[in-house]
Structure 1
């Protein structure tokens, strides 16, 4: 289990027990007004989702990101939020921090992201549409559905004049898909100042939340060989492409299924002319691990195993570029799960719980010791593909879930 810098073990376990003690209070009939408002808002929420989806906001595309941010800011200001923009240099987009002050005791961080994995023009090619109970379009569930769920949960609470929390902060990241040093520092700093983080990444296809996530890293392999004419004197060269192929095959076996560690080579580059033995080659691999120690092991094994070369007199260098840390399952997150499952039970629904091989901003929140639970966005599937979808029928239940979750943890 990851060490938590914020508080000693006894304090953390005390928090977990306190959160768990809340669970019986939520195993009851639905909160009628929240349920009615959530259902009434579904059509309006879908219209907002349509506006957001029909804006290209791929990572680094500042015009679209700032347009999405502007729409969200407009909605959050209506609820009384104060707004701070944090520049995400050098692409000139902005992260958004929206703050609501209450009268309770707990500070709650809601996180979502505005960027998608889709290039400019995708919104025009595949605009928002609904078919057979599913909404489609670029970023419809990852993570524009999360932004919408957050805004409308806060609208529901605003209608109740509910202010029994110390503070609610909504953090909208402009660079979650690619990551950035600015976003990393902002999330860690903000999360550390809050008691609980609820991340608005998509709800899982089985109508679930995410209680743990793998961390991410990139393995890099660089090979230096010697150029020569491929037809006249290939024996005088040292083929960097062939050596890279050998390295990819052997280094690709460094994963550990039992520990949920994977390494998959995804980018390979070598040569630019068919008649020249390439003297340079490189490869990158996606590395995922559930525990940080596995990244240490992979880094060491890359260097050790790569010493076994196929082509004499080539040079092979390896490195591991670490990305987001793992998000571990903890006593605190389990306690939050118990509350969330009780809330969904009010609607007669079952909330499933799972882990994910994908990294997310929640990993950064958890890394500073803030109890974190993920997957509070609209339910969907086929993430990062042209067939990405969001379940229309999940909109109202997810608004209800998030609004009630805020109520249950806001004043305890």
Structure 2
């Protein structure tokens, strides 16, 4: 039976301290079969990664996203998954994928990754997949095609082991994570509520880390109405909307709070189109990040309050806050998930760094509906969203091991009702 997280098996287990101890034991020995399979699949995984990276799949580029989707869906069907495809928000014609595997246990585990990248059409041809000095390069190699590959090969190992001690594993593949479509948001929130725990397959941090908190995102919009006039003949008759917008940027840009990890950075300014005309309209937009939801409420109120202080008389200034992804907070439940992950990585002589991020991600949506969520289970890499984006080749097998064993541990630690 599907139920909201507040009534899920794992929630009950966490509440009574059944599913997780406060500190997971250090495992002395690795699971030899999982370790061997993770090593054996490394070259095959890299070939699949190369195939995916060499396909342009920037957000909204339907031909490339369809190619990636078809490759991944074929792999998932071969593993026995049932497939549902959900249309994206028009006019984007791409599709999200929800793949489901049924087992014989109790735990409902959600894996998430995304098929879209930030790179334009033509990037794959200009910078195709290649390996140099132990690092794989190419558009989206670690964000998030490496995460897709890690998820597929963890599921392949589970199938090879005939491991079915879970009730359900769902692999959700977002086609628009980089742009945050309304369709993806609603889908993730709906699916996450049906699960006990979420493992997000965003890239492992450069120091081999997991992400336990993320900031939420929003956009502050400032609109100014002034009065046009000739900039040379009668500038005094105008009301310069650009000057007022500049004034607002300077004062509203101070609304961040370093102690609370709140930032506001103005990044877009539009005003005027001719140098000899005093502009009568201007718009400024700022990227806003916050670690707690209350800070968005505070920023929204302060935008209206502070913007009342104007530099140019007789201009009209309006502000609004367009909220994006919510924060993913660190919680006692995620700390317990970290304990398990550290114990698993310790089995193969490795240690995870535990980090936060100013970047928002789909994990925020899962956490936002109350589902314990841990992020960063993809392949380790760095220089995200740049032409120098890379993935560490030597992280492929350890990360597949970590994800496979994490699924196994979560499945066996979730008790029945």
Q: TM-score, normalised by structure 1?
A: 0.97
Q: Report what 1:279 is aligned to.
A: 280
Query: CA 1:102–1:178 in structure 2 vs 1: closer, same or farther (change >3 Å)?
Result: same
Q: By how many angstroms is 1:21 displaced?
A: 6.5
1:35 partner SS: helix
Identify the residue that residue 200 of structure 2 maps to in structure 1. Answer: 199
1:356 aligns with 2:357: yes
1:240-259 aligned at under 5 Å gives the runs 240-259=241-260
| 2:410 paired with 1:382 | no
Counterpart-to-counterpart distance in 2, 1:166 and 1:156: 17
User: Residue in 2 aligned with 1:33?
Assistant: 33
RMSD: 1.6
**How far apart are the structure 1 equivalents of 2:5 and 2:347?**
36
Contact 2:201 2:378 in 1 (8 A): yes
| C-alpha contact (below 8 Å) 1:17/1:335 kept by paired residues | no
CA–CA separation in structure 1 for the residues paired with 2:23 and 2:195: 19
SS in structure 1 of the partner of residue 255 of structure 2: coil
Aligned residues: 408
Gaps of 5+ in 2: none
2:5–2:194 Cα contact (<8 Å) kept: no
| C-alpha separation in 1, matches of 2:19 and 2:55 | 43
Deviations 1:337-390 (A, max 9, x none): 000000000000011101110111011101111111000000001111111110
Residues 227 and 241 in structure 2, CA contact (< 8 A), matched pair in contact too? yes
TM-score (norm 2): 0.95
1:23 aligns to what SS in structure 2?
coil
Aligned-partner Cα distance in 2 for 1:247–1:295: 18
1:62 — aligned with what?
Answer: 62
Partner Cα distance (1:69, 1:151) in 2: 13
Number of the residue aligned with 1:48: 48
SS at match of 1:203: coil
Using a 3 Å threshold, how does the CA distance of structure 1 residues 253 and 272 change in structure 2: closer, same or farther?
A: same
CA distance in 1, matches of 2:62, 2:198: 27
Distance 2:52 2:71 in 1: 8
1:217-232 aligned within 5 A: 217-232=218-233
The list of structure 1 runs, each at least 4 consecutive aligned residues, that deviate by more than 6 angstroms after superposition, is none
The aligned residue for residue 177 of structure 2 is 176
Cα distance 1:313–1:258, how it changes in 2: closer, same or farther (>3 A)?
Answer: same
**SS of structure 1 residue aligned to 2:163:** coil
Could you say if the C-alpha distance between residues 16 and 264 of structure 1 is closer, same or farther in structure 2, counting changes exceeding 3 Å? farther
Q: Which residue of 1 aligns with 2:319?
A: 318
Is 1:136–1:389's contact at 8 Å kept on the other side of the alignment? yes
Alignment of 1:97-112 (within 5 A): 97-112=98-113
1: CA distance between counterparts of 2:235 and 2:279? 10
Distance 1:273 1:110 in 2: 51
SS of 1:19's partner is: coil
